Every structure is written in C-alpha cells, then in structure tokens.
Amino acid sequence: MVNPQADLGIRLRELHTATRTRARALDAAIAQLRRDRGADVADDEHDPEGVTLSAEWAHLAGLRRAVAQELADLDEAGSRWDAGAYGVCVDCGRGIPIERLRARPAAARCVSCAEKAGG
C-alpha cells in the first residue's frame, strides 16, 4: 500500500520540476519577444504589429508572474515538508485534510483558515 503522505512528497517534487520547466519556457518566450521588439520602443499606435507585441508582452509577463508565485508556494511547501510540518495549517496548527493537499499540494492552510485569509 502506498503511503499517501509520501505520495504527496513525490507530487510536490514533480510539480516543482514542471513549474520550473514552464518558467524557463516563459523566460525564453519573453527573451524572444524582446528580440522581436528590437532595441527601440515600438510605436503601438502606428505600428500594425505593435498592439500584438504589446498584448503578447503583457500576456507573457502575467503568466511569468503567476509561475513565479507558484514556484514560491511550492518552495514554501517543500520547506514545510523538510521541516516535518507539511500538511499542518500554518494558522491554526490543525492537520490539512489529505483531499485538500491532493487538490492543492502547496496549501499552507486548512480550508477554514484559507477562507478567513481570503484564499
């Protein structure tokens, strides 16, 4: 029988690896877009490709911020794992249900505390 807690540790590592891969892909896409835009600032109002480049830049930047937050959350979860505190609510100290951890492996709070905290 597989230990559900150990299973979650494996899942955390897999998610971290996949998220780092997504971050590198986004970094490459942003670098390519930066090269496409050139050294000077695009005149979006008069450049037919300007709006597309600006929209793409905003989209990629937003995705990169989200991935950075996801990595930070996974890093924190990994630290809690290493400290033996994974699966324990950081606010109330009660155990976080395994179902919540399966759905949100980086969860730091139980459902009740997460609702109180607004997330």
pLDDT digits (tens, 9 = 90+) for 14-54: 999 999 999 999 999 999 988 887 755 555 555 665 557 78
Does a structural domain hold residue 43? yes
92 vs 52, more confident = 92
Distance CA 107, CA 119 (A): 10
Does a structural domain hold residue 93? no
Joined together, the tokens standing for residue 66 give 């989200």
Distance CA 94, CA 72 (A): 23
Q: Are 15 and 105 in contact (CB under 8 A)?
A: yes
Determine which of 4-13, 24-33, 37-46, 64-73 has the lowest per-residue pLDDT on average. Answer: 37-46
Does a structural domain hold residue 56? yes
Mean pLDDT of the chain: 88
Does a structural domain hold residue 99? no
Does a structural domain hold residue 109? no
Task: Residue 38: give the domain boundaries.
Answer: 4-85
Separation of CA 97 from chain center: 21
Does a structural domain hold residue 57? yes
- Domains held by the chain: number: 1
Q: Are 23 and 67 in contact (CB under 8 A)?
A: yes
| HEC readout, 12-57 | HHHHHHHHHHHHHHHHHHHHHHHHHHCCCCCCCCCCCCHHHHHHHH
**What percentage of the chain has pLDDT greater than the value 70?**
85
Does a structural domain hold residue 103? no
Contacts for 82-90 with beta carbons within 8 Å, 24 or more apart?
Answer: 86/5, 86/8, 86/9, 86/12, 87/5, 87/8, 89/113
Does a structural domain hold residue 44? yes
